[in-house]
Amino acid sequence: MKNEMEIIFDALSDNEGFARVAVAAFITHLNPTVEEMADIKTAVSEAVTNSIIHGYGNLRGYGRPGEKGEECDEANPGKVRLRCVLDKNILHIEVIDQGKGIEDVEKAMEPLYTTRPELERSGMGFAFMEAFMDDLEVESAPGQGTKVRMIKKIGVGGWIEHQC
Amino acid sequence: MGQIAAEDFQIIDNCLLIQLPEEIDHHGAGFICECADRYLVRKEVRDVVFDFGRTRFMDSSGIGIIMGRYRKISCFGGKVYAIHVDRQIERIFRLSGLNKIVEVLES
C-alpha cells in the first residue's frame, strides 16, 4: 500500500512544530515505537529549521517576541515543501526549499559545522538527521534551493530493542 | 506547548534552575538563551541546572542552548547539570557528545 501527502507552508519558525506533528500524525497508524516517532520528529524538525533559517534566512519568532521583532518581522516570503511517501512500512520524507542553497554540502554536513554561530545552534542538524534516519541525501547548489531526502523503516525499533 | 515564562527560572544559592518547556526547538530556543543569559550576567550564578521534567521533544537547538550556557559559565568554574532526563534526551546527549560536559543527575 502506498500513501502520500504533501504540505506547503511559509518558511517561518512558527511552523516547525506544525511540520513535525503533521508527519507524526501521518504515520501513527503504523504504530511506530516511541523512539521511532521521536527520531522522525527530530529529523523533520532539523530539516525544516535549516530551510527556514539558512535557506531563507528567516529569524522571525526567534528570540523575544516584540523586542527585536520589528526588523525580524520582515520575513522572506519563501515556502517550504514537505512531502511524505509511505511505501508499506518505509517512510520517505522530502523537505524542499527554494532558498539560497548550500555551497559545500559535504562541509555543511560535518558535525558542529555551522555558518551562523551567532545563533547558538549546535551545528548538529545534518548529523542528527543522519543518525536518526536510515538514509539521508542532500541535493543543493547556490541559488538553487535545497532538497533533503530521508528514509526510515518503521516497525523495526521493537525488534532491535529486543535483540540488544 | 507554551512559551517559557519568568517563573521557569529560579535561583537557588548560586545555581540557576531552568524548567525547560514541553518542546524545545529553534522557535523557542532564542528566548530561552536570552532569559538565561540575563540571569547569568545580573546574578551571581555559578552552575546551571536544566530540568527536562516537562520536555517531550528536543532537537539540536536544545544542544545549542546547553553548549552556549556551558561556554559562558565554564570559564568561571561553573558546571552544567541536567535532571529528569528521559531516554530520548539521553540519546541526544550521547549522540552530540554533550554527555561529556553535562552531568546528568538521577532524581
CATH code of residue A68: 3.30.565.10
**Taking CB atoms and an 8 Å cutoff, what residues of chain B touch A157?**
none
Number of domains in chain A: 1
Measure the N-to-C terminal CA separation of chain A; round to a whole number of Å: 31
pLDDT tens string, chain B, 107 residues long: the values are: 467 788 899 999 899 999 999 999 998 898 899 999 999 988 789 999 999 999 999 999 999 999 999 999 998 899 999 999 999 999 999 999 999 999 999 86
Fill in the amino acid letter for A88.
Answer: K
Q: What angle do CA B42, B44, B2 make, to 5 degrees?
A: 60
Q: What is the ipTM of this complex?
A: 0.88
Domain around A10: 2-163
**Residues of chain B contacting A, Cβ within 8 Å:** 1, 23, 25-27, 29-31, 33-34, 57-61, 63-65, 67-68, 87-88, 91-92, 95-96
Fill in the amino acid letter for B37.
Answer: D
Q: Where are the domains of chain B?
A: 18-105
pLDDT number for residue A70 = 45
Classify burial at B94, counting beta carbons within 10 Å of its beta carbon; exposed 0-12, middle 13-18, buried 19 or more.
Answer: exposed
**Taking CB atoms and an 8 Å cutoff, what residues of chain B touch A122?**
60-61, 63-64, 67, 96
In angstroms, the CA A151 to CA A132 distance is 10
The CATH architecture of the domain made up of B18-105 is 2-Layer Sandwich (3.30)
